[in-house]
C-alpha cells in the first residue's frame, strides 16, 4: 500500500515535471560582479570564480539557479510597457521579489543579502545568470541580455521607457557553460563600466525571451574614484 502510494506520488510528480518544463522556466541575474579565478579561463561554474556583488536583496546561501522555486521567486516578468522597471513584489505577469531601491541603497545589501557591487569607471563587470533551459540548440541564438545603466544617481525611474533610454550594452543570452542539466547551466557576459562620477547607480539586467516578454533584475552599482 505504501509502495503503491509512493508510486502514485512519483508518477504524479513526473507528470507535473513534464508538464511545467522545460519551456516554463525563466531567468534572473544571479550575480552582478562575477570574478574569474583565472582570467584566461573564463567560466561561470562554482569552480571557475566567485561572486563579489549581487542584485538588490539577493538571498545568500541558495543553490545556483534554484530561486525560481523560492517564495517569492526571483524572476520577474514585466506586465506591459507601463510595468515597474524593478520588481516591487506586487506587480508582474510573474511577480518577483522586492527589488525596489532601498533608502539608503546600502540597506538592500549585507547580512542575509549579498554585497553591493563596488567598482570604478573602465573596470570590467561580469554578470551571471542561470540558463533555465533556454540555452539549448533549439532556442534562438539571437536571445540577448540588455544592460541598462543609469546616467545619474538617485531614485529609480518610474517607467521602463526611462530606464531603456540608458541602454549600455547587450550580450548573448546563450553564452553558457556546457552542462548536463539544461536548467542549471551557468551563463554570463562582461562589459566595461561606463564613465560616471563617483556615486551609486541603478543597473538593470533585462532579458527578452519572446517578443514583448521581458524579465528584469535590478542592482545598485557603487562607483568609486579610479
Ligand atoms: C576610460 O577609458 C577611456 C578610453 O580608453 C579613457 O579615455 C578614459 O580616460 C578612462 N577613464 C578613466 C576614469 O579611467
pLDDT in tens, 58-79: 999 999 999 998 989 999 999 9
* CATH topology for the 27-224 domain: Immunoglobulin-like (2.60.40)
Q: How far is CA 207 from CA 67, 111, 150, in A?
A: 17, 28, 17
Pocket test for ligand 1, best of 195, 225, 226 (most atoms within 8 A of CB): 195
The 10s digit of each residue's pLDDT in 156-211 is 999 999 999 999 999 999 999 998 899 999 999 999 999 999 999 999 999 999 99
Does ligand 1 have an atom closer than 6 angstroms to the CB of 121?
yes
What's the pTM value of the predicted model, to 2 decimals? 0.90
Cα distances (Å, whole numbers) of residue 52 to 9, 116, 127: 41, 8, 11
Q: Is the CB of 35 under 6 A from ligand 1?
A: no
List the chain domain ranges. Answer: 27-224
Distance 171 CA to ligand 1 centre (A): 22
Amino acid at each position: 500500500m505504501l509502495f503503491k502510494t509512493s508510486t502514485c506520488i512519483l508518477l504524479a510528480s513526473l507528470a507535473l515535471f513534464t508538464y511545467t518544463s522545460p519551456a516554463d522556466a525563466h531567468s534572473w541575474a544571479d550575480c552582478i560582479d562575477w570574478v574569474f579565478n583565472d582570467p584566461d579561463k573564463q567560466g561561470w561554474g562554482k569552480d571557475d570564480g566567485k561572486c563579489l556583488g549581487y542584485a538588490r536583496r539577493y538571498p545568500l546561501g541558495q543553490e545556483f539557479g534554484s530561486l525560481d522555486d523560492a517564495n517569492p521567486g526571483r524572476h520577474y516578468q514585466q506586465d506591459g510597457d507601463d510595468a515597474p522597471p524593478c520588481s516591487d513584489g506586487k506587480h508582474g505577469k510573474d511577480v518577483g521579489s522586492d527589488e525596489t531601491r532601498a533608502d539608503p541603497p546600502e540597506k538592500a545589501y549585507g547580512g542575509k543579502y549579498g554585497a553591493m557591487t563596488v567598482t570604478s569607471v573602465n573596470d570590467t563587470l561580469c554578470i551571471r545568470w542561470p540558463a533555465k533551459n533556454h540555452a539549448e540548440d533549439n532556442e534562438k541564438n539571437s536571445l540577448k541580455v540588455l544592460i541598462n545603466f543609469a546616467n545619474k544617481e538617485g531614485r529609480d525611474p518610474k517607467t521602463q521607457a526611462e530606464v531603456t533610454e540608458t541602454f549600455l550594452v547587450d550580450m548573448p543570452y546563450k553564452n553558457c557553460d556546457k552542462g548536463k542539466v539544461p536548467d542549471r547551466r551557468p551563463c554570463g557576459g562582461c562589459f566595461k563600466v561606463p564613465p560616471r562620477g563617483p556615486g551609486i547607480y541603478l543597473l538593470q539586467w533585462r532579458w527578452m525571451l519572446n517578443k514583448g516578454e521581458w524579465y528584469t533584475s535590478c542592482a545598485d552599482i557603487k562607483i568609486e574614484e579610479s
